Chains A and B, each alone.
Chain A
Amino acid sequence: MDADVVVIGAGALGLSAALHCALAGRSVVVIERHTAGSQASGRAAGLFKCVQADELRTRLARRSIALAASFADWAGVPLEAARSGPRRADGGRP
Chain B
Amino acid sequence: MAGGLEADPLPLDPRRQASSFTTDDVPLDLGVLRRLTAQVAAEAPAVCATPVAEHRGGLFTMTPDGRFIAGPLPNLPGLWVISGCNGSGFSSSPALGEALAAWITTGTAPAGMTVLSPDRFGSLPDDALVSHGLWRYAHYYDPVAG
Contacts and interface: CB of A to CB of B under 8 A. Distances in A.
B40 interface: yes
Contact of B66 (A13, A42, A53, A61): A53
B144 to A, nearest CB: 4
A67 B101 CA distance: 14
A12 B89 contact: yes
Nearest to A56: B112
A13 B146 contact: no
A57 B88 contact: yes
Assign chain B's interface to a size class.
35 or more
Contacts of A42: 23, 58
Contact of A20 (B3, B83, B102): B102
Given A17-B101, A57-B88, A64-B94, A39 B59 contact: yes
Interface string A11-48: 11111111111011110000000100011111111111
Contact of B95 (A41, A45, A61): A61
A72 interface: no
B43 A59 contact: no
B120 interface: no
Given A40-B59, A53-B66, A54-B146, A19 B97 contact: yes
Interface residues of A, number: 44
B99 interface: yes
B94 A67 contact: yes
B78 to A, nearest CB: 10
A68 B90 CA distance: 11
Given A16-B98, A24-B101, A56-B115, A40 B58 contact: yes
Interface string B2-46: 010000000000000000001100000000000000001001100
A-B complex: 8 closest residue pairs judged by Cβ atoms: A16-B97, A20-B101, A43-B58, A44-B90, A12-B93, A63-B95, A67-B94, A53-B144
23 contacts: A11-B89, A12-B89, A13-B83, A13-B93, A20-B97, A21-B105, A24-B102, A39-B58, A39-B59, A42-B23, A43-B58, A52-B92, A53-B66, A54-B146, A56-B112, A56-B113, A56-B116, A57-B68, A60-B99, A61-B95, A63-B94, A63-B98, A64-B93
